[in-house]
Amino acid sequence: MKLIIDDADTEAIKRLVEYYPIDGVTTNPSILAKAGRPPFEVLHEIRSIIGPDRELHAQVVARDAEGMVADAHRIVKELGNNTFPKVPSIPEGFKAIKQLSAEGINVTATAIYTPLQAFIAAKAGAVYAAPYINRIDNMGYDGIDVACKIHDIFRANNLHCEVLAASFKNSEQVLKLAVHGVGAATIASSVIDSLTKNAAIDAAVDDFTADFEGLTGAGKTMATV
């Protein structure tokens, strides 16, 4: 499962890319709005941080297929070939996905709440389908179950599309999708930090250090004994 940052906070992205095996960054119009800067200025900075080999996902804003395609062309032109325009999974979006896929542009189908939305998006040519886990939960359904069903539908129907699960509230949700083997999860910076945050882990490392320093002296490491 790919590990992707769902954020436009460039300082947070720099830190996470430094420490974790990050595969890319996703954004959406709401995330970009929080940055309070021109959208392409932020996106270019993100691209400079993550480099050309990691994925960058940026969402179209137009409401009709023609406008979505124009937005997607601008996104790829500005940000490079390893950039994935995000297109809403609605009828106009499916029309746009078909055209963009025929042009060889990799599309992420977004705003997915149901397995059939994802199925249609994949049939239209999307390479990722992004179900909103926490938002689905808040509607009274099981977001993890929906994402897993989408993954299974893709495999059962030989569709060349992967789940890009989004909208998480905790690390347990991420764990369940990793166990199921979905393609990718895009996770807010704060949730990524929580994936390995555990007092027992910190205590174990502290105990090892104390025992070693008790043997060799304060501040000593394997490189300095």
Catalytic residue IDs: 86
User: What is the distance between the alpha carbons of residues 122 and 129, in angstroms, rounded to a whole number?
Assistant: 7
Report yes or no: 44 and 83 within 8 Å, Cβ to Cβ. Answer: no
Burial of 180 (0-12, 13-18, 19+ CB in 10 A): middle
User: What are the structure tokens assigned to 73, written together?
Assistant: 């062309």
User: What is the distance between the alpha carbons of residues 162 and 30, in angstroms, rounded to a whole number?
Assistant: 24
Count of alpha carbons within 13 angstroms of residue 132, beta-carbon side: 15
DSSP assignment string, 106-163: --EEEEE-SHHHHHHHHHHT-SEEEEBHHHHHHTTS-HHHHHHHHHHHHHHTT---EE
